[in-house]
Amino acid sequence: MLDALQSLWEDHLKPQGIQVAFVLLDDLHYFPIRAEESAYLTLRATFQELVNRNCNYSLVVTAPSLLFSEIADTAEPVMRFFKRFDLKPFIFNEAKEAINVRLRVAGSNIVVDDKVIETITEKTEGHPYLIMFTMFELLTLVSGTQRISMDDFNTNWHLIEGSLGKSIFSQKFQTASDKERELMLKIAETDREFVSPSDFKGFSGATELFSRLEKKELLLRHGRGKYSLFHRLFAEFLKRQ
């Protein structure tokens, strides 16, 4: 990889006047790890060596926050290599900016009423990806209109919710084991904001399952012994199963 990136820089990128090239590795937690060495340290060494060879690459990775804690325990120098940025839920103004910028980049003149964006932000709890997915589905469903109103949103929300279930929540649900799925269904049935492993004393291995589901980003921990399903819409999806 090192020599290939150097050749790409010297033969193609630098001659075109490019000053910096970004390499994005999405979902770093799926990166293959070899038993005899740390893949994370190899990444760090590779991009440091590219700098030594005057190849101006910048590495950007995405991963659940839990992964960075694990990396810090096994390959701490990697953490000093990256500048960490935590992507938080969007508030209304941030969601509005993200949507409008995306529309402008796409060359669209569609106007989205503020109340629609406010409702999308509320229903998605500000989750950046869910906001964009919802907006894409809505644009597809109202194709041809120049202004999206609350009537448009209310008419199509049940279809969007179905798409969220099929395209996102169903896939995340399938990443869990049979036992983990069974526990998540029981959590959804409680219809409570927060639950604890102690609430499921009759469920064998609940504490370990909670930990595993947190690592898979299917449960969120809000403090000692306080958990919730990763999203309210996911909980609604589970109730329909």
| Structural domains of the chain, with CATH | 2-81 (no CATH), 92-173 (1.10.8), 177-239 (1.10.10)
Has residue 76 got a pLDDT over 70?
A: no
Burial of 103 (0-12, 13-18, 19+ CB in 10 A): middle
Helix intervals (H) in the chain: 2-8, 39-52, 65-74, 76-81, 92-105, 114-124, 128-141, 150-164, 170-174, 178-190, 206-215, 232-239
Kindly tell me if the per-residue pLDDT of 36 is higher than 70.
Answer: no
- pLDDT for the residue 210: 94
Give the residue-averaged pLDDT of 31-60. 81
Indicate the pLDDT class of residue 140, thresholds 50, 70 and 90: very high
**pLDDT band of 35, cuts 50, 70, 90:** very low
Give the DSSP H/E element, type plus range, for residue 61. strand 57-61
Of 134, 95, 137, 98, residue with least CA distance to 117: 95
**pLDDT single digits (tens) 177-224:** 999 999 999 999 999 999 999 999 888 899 999 999 998 889 999 888
Residue 105 confidence (pLDDT) above 70? yes
How far apart are the C-alpha atoms of 195 and 225, rounded to whole Å? 8
Please give the pLDDT value at position 32.
Answer: 65
pLDDT of residue 204: 87
Q: Which two tokens stand for residue 136?
A: 């894409």
pLDDT band at 27 (very low <50, low <70, confident <90, very high): confident
